[in-house]
Amino acid sequence: MRKLVFIAALFSLSSSAGTRQPPTIILRTEPVREQRTRAGYEVKSDTFANDEMRVRLPSVARASVTVVQNRARETPATSLFRALFTAEASRANFALSVGARLEPAMEGRYGGAFLADMFGALGVRSVAFGRRLVYPAPLRDHLNFPDLAARGVEVWSGASYPMLGKTIAERLGVEQQALPPRPNRRAQALWSVPANPAGKRIVLVQTKRVAGSEQFHEDLLEMLHAVWEAKRQGAAEVTVVSPYLAYSRSDRADTPGTAVGAALLPQLMKAAGVDNVVFYSVHQAQEVGIFQALHIGVAHASGEAILARHIAQEFLRSGENKALLRVVAPDAGAAKRARVFAAALEKELALKPGTIEVVVASKYRDDASGKLELTFDANVQGATAIALDDETASGSTLALVADAARAKGAAQVYAAVSHLTGPAHVKLEKTASLSKLFVLDTLPQPSMVTDSTKIEVVGIAEPLADLVRAMFSGQGLEKHLFYEYP
């Protein structure tokens, strides 16, 4: 069952001439008949067979949101949860602040202090009880701030990938500063940050480099300390842009006595003072929920969409037979990501949905030889196969997929990954069954990768800068983000 939720969008102008303040957006959880609210948005709220719900909003980025619970035809508890979900969705979609105005009966039914604590846990700044609203004058321009520099946005580049930070800053038209190098890593000398961060909105670019674990953890600490120091000196907001999110693959306690690495870094970021985080293609999309539970804004960007766009252009130039394309998931866990990629590729190639088949591989060990083998759940005979994964470090799995696909009669085998995090290029260069590897430059790659004729590095600087601009200008982020298909 799907339920329509009406959103009345009412914006306010600052009383200071020439100065714009964040618009106030009033979100109603139920349809209303008031004439002046009919110019608002209509969004869909889904109620599922198991009685759970989901609320989806239009763009509320950089806005001040008030969630208004109206008298509903549903039960008070369901109506209340609809308001809670609306508040959570507003905060998760980068609203600057969220308030709530509830039906007066809710205070008597559940208790004002209790409800204030519940909404407060979601980052709601205030909870009022009553239906009377003050309607501000409409703002025709929905927080359209193309000049990010005027808003105090500044890019800081960490030691891991200064060129990426420089390119992002140039595209955004804002100042870029490199984090000062630590005088001596082995001495008692702390990192420092660029001067005068007070009141600024800092975009800190830091990722992983293929250089060994000591440098890897040094870069993580540099990022955390820079955020902590910037906030200590009065920075208004810090957004960490980490195209490769460290410890994303450590998403479960797979042996006794271990910690979940994917939960460690978000907690450290929260302690340091991170407000928002941007990354590409984490191992499990559910990891976004860890950040949301800590009230950190999350933009999980789709590396798959960028790869699909680039590969589609390559295929159109080469005249590859689109009807014989197959996307191969290396295992069942990668099947959803493969379907997202296949759908993006269909869109770029102007194919009907479902044209590109997703083939799922399964690993097994041959009893006779003891070798690891692969089988596929569909035919790849004569097909152009694209093996899709979020990350490769050693290259072993992709090499195994390529060998197995060619053995099953695939005409060509390509591979595409968002993150090349280890020496996988060494193995894949020697894998004769693999025609080409496409990889995003979420990490700075060595010359052996960038100069290779078999590996094609696809740049993320421009789409990443456009995503950051959308975050700070109140534009919709949907086209940039990763969404799993059901």
**433-459 burial by CB neighbour count: b if 16+ within 10 A, else e?**
bbbbbbbbbbbbbeeebeebeebbbbe
Q: Would you call 125 exposed, middle or buried from its count of C-beta atoms within 10 A (0-12, 13-18, 19+)?
A: middle
CA distances 26 to 9, 10, 87, 89, 141, Å, are 5, 6, 11, 14, 16
Tokens, residue 11: 């914006």
CA 42/CA 44 separation, integer angstroms: 7
Predicted confidence band of residue 212 (pLDDT cuts 50, 70, 90): low
Torsion 227-230-232-237 (CA) sign: negative
- Whole-number pLDDT of residue 214: 66
pLDDT above 70: residue 134: no
CA 82/CA 180 separation, integer angstroms: 47
Amino acid identity at 220: L
At residue 126, what are phi and psi to the nearest 5 degrees? -155, 150
Summarize pLDDT for 374-390 with one digit per residue, the tens: 889 889 999 999 999 99
- Whole-number pLDDT of residue 49: 60
- Whole-number pLDDT of residue 186: 57
pLDDT above 50: residue 11: no
Predicted confidence band of residue 57 (pLDDT cuts 50, 70, 90): confident
- Whole-number pLDDT of residue 213: 60
Q: Among residues 29, 25, 26, 12, which one has the least CA distance to residue 62? A: 25
CA 386/CA 311 separation, integer angstroms: 10
Query: Is residue 123 helix, strand or coil?
Result: coil
Q: Would you call 188 exposed, middle or buried from its count of C-beta atoms within 10 A (0-12, 13-18, 19+)?
A: exposed
CA 258/CA 232 separation, integer angstroms: 33
Instruction: List helix spans (H) across 327-444.
Output: 335-348, 396-407, 424-429
Question: What average pLDDT does this structure show over 28-42?
Answer: 45
- Whole-number pLDDT of residue 241: 97
DSSP of 165-203, one letter per residue? HHHHHHHHT--EEEPPPPS-TTSS------S--TT-EEE
- Of residues 181 and 433, the one with the higher pLDDT is 433
pLDDT above 80: residue 55: no
Contacts of 196 (CB under 8 A, 6+ apart): 233
CA 34/CA 257 separation, integer angstroms: 59
Contacts of 332 (CB under 8 A, 6+ apart): 360, 362
At residue 238, what are phi and psi to the nearest 5 degrees? -130, 125
- Whole-number pLDDT of residue 143: 39
At residue 91, what are phi and psi to the nearest 5 degrees? -65, -40
Contacts of 79 (CB under 8 A, 6+ apart): 29, 30, 69, 72, 103
Domains of the chain: 2-141 (3.40.50), 149-301 (3.40.50.2020), 304-464 (3.40.50.2020)
Contacts of 252 (CB under 8 A, 6+ apart): 260
CA 369/CA 438 separation, integer angstroms: 32
CA distances 12 to 17, 19, 59, 134, 160, Å, are 13, 12, 16, 11, 42
CA 39/CA 33 separation, integer angstroms: 12
At residue 61, what are phi and psi to the nearest 5 degrees? -60, 135
Q: Among residues 55, 103, 98, 54, which one has the least CA distance to residue 77? A: 103
Contacts of 370 (CB under 8 A, 6+ apart): none
Predicted confidence band of residue 78 (pLDDT cuts 50, 70, 90): confident
Mean of per-residue pLDDT scores for the chain: 82
- Whole-number pLDDT of residue 301: 92
Lowest-pLDDT range of 114-118, 239-243, 267-271, 352-356: 114-118
Summarize pLDDT for 287-325 with one digit per residue, the tens: 999 999 999 999 999 999 999 999 999 888 887 777 789
Residue matched to tokens 């060619």: 406
- Whole-number pLDDT of residue 162: 94
Q: Among residues 145, 116, 124, which one has the least CA distance to residue 23? A: 145
CA 411/CA 367 separation, integer angstroms: 29
- CB-CB contact of 177 with 168 (8 Å): no
Q: What is the separation of C-alpha 242 from the centre of its chain, rounded to a whole number of angstroms?
A: 10
Tokens, residue 164: 């990426």
Return the top range by mean pLDDT from 37-51, 85-99, 309-323, 385-399: 385-399
pLDDT above 80: residue 9: no
